[in-house]
Amino acid sequence: MTETLSDALSRAAGADHLLIALDFDGTLAPFTEDPADSRPLPEAREALDALAGLPRTTVAIISGRPLEFLREVVDPARRMVLSGSHGAEMDLAALPDLPDDAEHDIHLTAEQLDLLDRAVDATEEMVSRYPGSRAELKPAGVCFHTRPIRDPRVSEQALEEMNRAYSELQGLRITPGQQVVECSVLSATKGDGLRIIQAAASPDVTVFAGDDVTDEDAMDLLTGEDLGIKVGEKESVATQRVSGPQELADVLSVFADQRARAVTSIK
Ligand SMILES: O=P(O)(O)OC[C@H]1O[C@H](O[C@H]2O[C@H](CO)[C@@H](O)[C@H](O)[C@H]2O)[C@H](O)[C@@H](O)[C@@H]1O
């Protein structure tokens, strides 16, 4: 860990009320060929569990994954605030002063359902033409995955074609990712997710870590004493960077200890 990251973490650990919000894939969990197989690294899980048990400390996951997946795989004990489907689904039930609108479920109009059907058809058609690729269905969208395609040129071509096909369907929000392109009939972003969590939890300091372009919508909201940590090499407005999920897990372990010490000394 660099000295500047270590200093920044020590400062954040001393916040009166801390929000630590994290992306899932490529941040807490290393990439896997089948999205159903990804799990947080054990050290990261342990650190998040420790942080979630501390006073004046809110742990949040803000992910492109459906809320249901986050509940089952990341937070079965239901101690974290969750935002799924890139900010379109919210579960704030872990907050002590529960807001009335703690859960934001997705309700699609008939037009949105029709658009989603057409996006799914286009994805399945693409999957039939690119062996190895797969579709992942979500409550308001669908992903086209190419990680299992061995030839990077074929993978790139498949992603471009899928992007074009989604662009022809008016009204979809198209999001590029790591060997994936996904679309949604809703326009929410991770920035919307973080904004809702900050409004409900009122933290003095927010720490956010993420690896991908969609995480920048949340990074953009960080101000003042907040801390943004980019995972990996993609461009970012974050002031700090780690090499990958394992280094982030190590950082989270140190941070959980720092925060535990700090909360015992905050009056
Ligand atoms: O917001 P995130 O938590 O980073 O989720 C973004 C998308 O990640 C998932 O796909 C990525 O991870 C898969 C499992 O490691 C990998 O196979 C794939 O190549 C990656 O792009 C996930 O499947 C999507 O639903 C998320 O939207």
pLDDT in tens, 206-226: 999 999 999 999 999 999 999
Q: Which of 180, 181, 183 has most ligand 1 atoms within 8 Å of CB, for mutation?
A: 180
State both tokens at 6. Answer: 């270590």
| Confidence (pLDDT) at 100 | 65
For 58, phi then psi, to 5°, come to -110, 130
Read off the pTM: 0.95
Q: 242, 229, 63, 54: which is closest to 138 by C-alpha? A: 63
Torsion on CA atoms 27, 31, 32, 37, rounded to nearest 10: 10
ipTM beyond cut 0.85: yes
Nearest-atom number in ligand 1 for the CA of 182 is 27
At residue 76, the 3 state secondary structure works out as coil
Q: How far apart are the first and last CA of the chain?
A: 30
What are the angstrom distances between the C-alpha of 3 and each of 6, 7, 103, 240?
5, 6, 39, 11
Q: Ligand 1 center to residue 25 CA distance, Å?
A: 5
- What's the DSSP call for residue 84? E
| Confidence (pLDDT) at 96 | 83
| Confidence (pLDDT) at 265 | 78
**32 CB under 6 A from ligand 1?**
yes
**177 CB under 6 A from ligand 1?**
yes
| Confidence (pLDDT) at 97 | 74
- What's the DSSP call for residue 16? S
| Confidence (pLDDT) at 3 | 75
Which residue has the least CA distance to atom 25 on ligand 1? 65
For 63, phi then psi, to 5°, come to -140, 160
**Which residues of the chain carry a pLDDT beneath 50?**
none
| Confidence (pLDDT) at 267 | 58
Taken in order of first residue, the domains within the chain and their CATH numbers are 3-106+188-265 (3.40.50.1000), 110-184 (3.30.70.1020)
| Confidence (pLDDT) at 264 | 87
